[in-house]
Amino acid sequence: MPIVSIATMSATLVKITIAGCETAIGVRLSASIAKISGTRVANTFATCSVIDTAGSGIRTVVGIIARTRRGITATAISIAGTNVSRLVNHCRALRESGFFILRFAYRILPMRAIEICVDSPEGVIAARDGRADRVELCDNLFEGGTTPSIGAIKLARRVGGIKLHVIIRPRGGDFLYTDVEFETMKFDIEAARTARVDGIVIGLLTADGNIDKERTRELLILAQPMSVTFHRAFDVCRDPLAALEDLIDVGVDRVLTSGQQADAISGAETIKKLVDTAGDRIVVMACGGIDETNIADVVAATGAQELHFTAFEDQASEMEYRNENVAMGSDDAPSEYLRRVTSAEKVRATVEAASNS
């Protein structure tokens, strides 16, 4: 029986049967004939849903395999929607049980990923134009981000060339949710999945400051096959190393953290400890006050391969008539006549600074 064994960010041996069949572990393969640089090859596009034997969830692996006279090569392998590998070697082909078998071992090369926190479809466009890899779409960033409207999600999904993750957070404040709020999160996840977003961002704690494993696992299962990130609720948990192990056990794909400090520079020591402890079991994404002036320092100090930041600039309202005596939000909220918008130029400058680090 064909077997696919995946260990994210580590060496692994993969055995795939090209027969257009569905295997016992949910691997679907389809084959077609194509030409690459004038050479006739058998192109196989394999989309694999690999069930974690520990019961922690499903990982999605996508690879393109090409067989030529000189052997078998592969490019653009992605795990949980993140491009992580560009190298396949030690390849050979043979026939077994009447099927054509590809056996190859590959080494996964981590690639730096940049995620921009945005609050509108326009922000998604700016992030893409600034060459970011992914966005986290939020509403109400003044409260740390809440679930955006379905209209914003659908319009953002129309923007091509960038991955879309959506925060699922029913309100601002703490991360201890009522039963009603938890049910709301479930419906929002279903809506996000229907809108075909690439991933969701969640964070749930227990009253004693630990990861709410039971509810997190329930939302993770509901979210499949989307990628799942645990947001900065992690930064207010009781014990970050214990929380990291809890998230790994549940099967979360990545955790967003400033190292439980106000910014990534201040929390660099903790972030590095988390990165080292996590190894290839979960992605640790650094955040907090990151911009073009310090992103190289954050990378050097933490070893984080994924980085998350905003790239806002102030934009004055075009309203000609203004009534400054009325405020629609709290006294601490920004003026109705001043907007913060994501700047493609700021995104690009920070991406370039990270690339040079």
- Paired tokens of 92: 């050979």
Q: Are residues 212 and 234 in the same domain?
A: yes
Residues in the chain: 357
Position 162 scores a pLDDT of: 97
Q: What is the model's pLDDT at position 116? A: 98
Place of tokens 């989309």: 47
Same domain, 27 and 132: no
Q: Which of 93, 82, 94, 72 is nearest to 163 (CA)?
A: 82
Examine the domain organization and report whether 24 and 163 are in the same domain. no
180 and 296 assigned to the same domain: yes
Task: Kindly state whether residues 138 and 244 are assigned to the same domain.
Answer: yes
Quick one: 286 and 173 in the same domain?
A: yes
pLDDT at 336: 84
- Answer positive or negative: Cα dihedral of 139, 219, 127, 305: positive
pLDDT in tens, 165-192: 999 999 999 999 999 999 999 999 999 9
In sequence order, which residues have a C-beta less than 8 Å from that of residue 107 and are 6 or more positions away?
11, 85, 87, 89
Residue 101, phi then psi, degrees to nearest 5: -110, 135
pLDDT at 327: 79
The two tokens of residue 158 are 């129309």
Boundary of a domain, candidates 51, 86, 106: 106
DSSP H/E element including 284: strand 283-287
Q: Are residues 252 and 182 in the same domain?
A: yes
- Count of the separate structural domains present in the chain: 2
Q: Are residues 98 and 208 in the same domain?
A: no
Do both 60 and 192 map to the same domain?
A: no
- 203 and 235 in a single domain? The answer is yes
CB burial string 16-42: b at 16+ within 10 A, e below: bbbeeeebeeebebeeeeeeeeeeebb
Host domain of residue 134 = 113-355
> Structure tokens of 70?
């000189």
SS3 state of residue 255: strand
Does residue 160 sit in the same domain as residue 63?
no
| 305 shares a domain with 157 | yes
From 91, 106, 121, give the residue that closes a domain: 106
pLDDT in tens, the chain (357 residues): 222 322 222 223 333 333 333 222 223 333 333 323 333 333 333 333 333 323 333 333 333 333 333 333 333 333 333 333 322 222 223 333 333 333 333 333 356 899 999 999 999 999 999 999 999 999 999 899 999 999 999 999 999 999 999 999 999 999 999 999 999 999 999 999 999 999 999 999 999 999 999 999 999 999 999 999 999 999 999 999 999 999 999 999 999 999 999 999 999 999 999 999 999 999 999 999 999 999 999 999 999 999 999 999 999 988 889 888 887 776 666 788 888 999 999 999 999 999 887
Question: What is the tens place of the pLDDT at every residue in 40-64?
Answer: 333 333 333 333 323 333 333 333 3
First CA to last CA distance, the chain: 45
